[in-house]
Amino acid sequence: MDYSKRSIKKVLSHLKEGKITQASAFKRLEHFPFHDMGFAKIDFHRAVRKGFPAVIFAPGKRNSEVAEISKKIVASGNTLLITKATPALYEYLSKIIPRVRFEEPARMIYYRGRRAAKKRNPVLVITAGTSDIPIAEEAALTLEILGNRAQKLYDVGVAGIHRLVDKMDLIKKAKVVIVVAGMEGALASIVGGLTPSPVIAVPTSVGYGASFGGLSSLLTMLNSCSPGVCVMNIDNGFGAGYFASLINK
């Protein structure tokens, strides 16, 4: 059952016009707003109230559990998105749902249901270094699936700031900017001071021992003196892409 606003209105309209029975309408909507699977409760109402269905966070779940949840989401007509996935999970899942795709750099498995209309304004995704690219790819793919145009500007960190300055025209045109950086995480503050647009900073776990798995970049970003910078959790590219899409609507 498709649990979009459009489909629910269609069921209610058909019921009002006598095209379907009350029992039939109930059967189509019986798992709304959520479907209880025992080990998980799929929030089908999220697609109505948020504009995008529930997303599966893969770590901590058995492959079989991810597969059962995925089958229900795909059968509902919604877009399937699985974050922090592994090649092994994709190999397992693709045998059950052959239509799924895997973006290895982003570590995301997905199946596109109803395609969102592309939004006009581009969202710029910037990384400090090449080691930050997997998290940036997670943000970029999330943006694309949510109907945004993602532009990428990678490896322009503070160790060679002229690389960033060379792309100022691109930075100024973006309505929203996502900055992904590990090490000391200073790039977000610099970009925040150069653009009039909101900046979403994503600290990554990239760095040497004293970076404490991304804590140093997280604290730098939280302490930014550049106005208009908000901060995601460590390695949360999906959260950045989702939030940027909300701003870009």
What is the pLDDT tens value at each position of the chain, 249 positions in all?
A: 445 556 666 666 766 777 778 777 666 555 556 555 555 666 665 665 666 767 788 899 888 889 888 888 787 777 888 999 999 999 998 999 888 899 889 999 998 866 555 666 889 999 999 999 999 999 999 999 888 889 999 999 888 888 888 888 888 888 899 999 999 889 999 999 888 899 999 999 998 988 899 999 999 999 998 889 999 999 999 999 999 998 988
Mark which of 69, 85, 111 sits at the end of a domain: 111
Q: State whether 176 and 210 are in the same domain.
A: yes
Mark which of 111, 145, 174 sits at the end of a domain: 111
Question: pTM of this prediction?
Answer: 0.79
Rounded CA gap, 236 and 135, in Å?
A: 7
Rounded CA gap, 185 and 215, in Å?
A: 10
Helices (DSSP H) in 44-167: which residue ranges? 46-49, 63-75, 87-94, 133-145, 162-165
Q: State whether 149 and 83 are in the same domain.
A: no
Mark which of 60, 88, 111 sits at the end of a domain: 111
Angle at which helices 237-248 and 133-145 cross, to 10°: 40
Contact 162, 198 (CB under 8 A): no
CATH number for the domain including 187? 3.40.50.1970
Contact 2, 10 (CB under 8 A): no
pLDDT at 204: 96
- Does residue 116 fall inside a structural domain? no
Residues ≥6 apart with Cβ < 8 Å to 63: 88, 89, 92, 93
Q: State whether 59 and 141 are in the same domain.
A: no
**Residue 111 tokens, joined:** 């199946």
Rounded CA gap, 168 and 53, in Å?
A: 35
Q: State whether 102 and 145 are in the same domain.
A: no
pLDDT at 114: 62
Number of domains comprising the chain: 2
Burial of 44 (0-12, 13-18, 19+ CB in 10 A): buried
Q: State whether 105 and 13 are in the same domain.
A: yes
- Does residue 54 fall inside a structural domain? yes
Rounded CA gap, 47 and 51, in Å?
A: 5
pLDDT at 45: 58
Contact 203, 181 (CB under 8 A): yes
- Does residue 117 fall inside a structural domain? no
What b/e sequence results for 143-166 when a residue is b if at least 16 CB atoms lie within 10 Å of its CB, and e otherwise?
Answer: bbbbbbebbebbbbbbeeeeebee
Q: State whether 157 and 103 are in the same domain.
A: no
Domain of residue 155 covers: 122-248
Q: State whether 190 and 233 are in the same domain.
A: yes
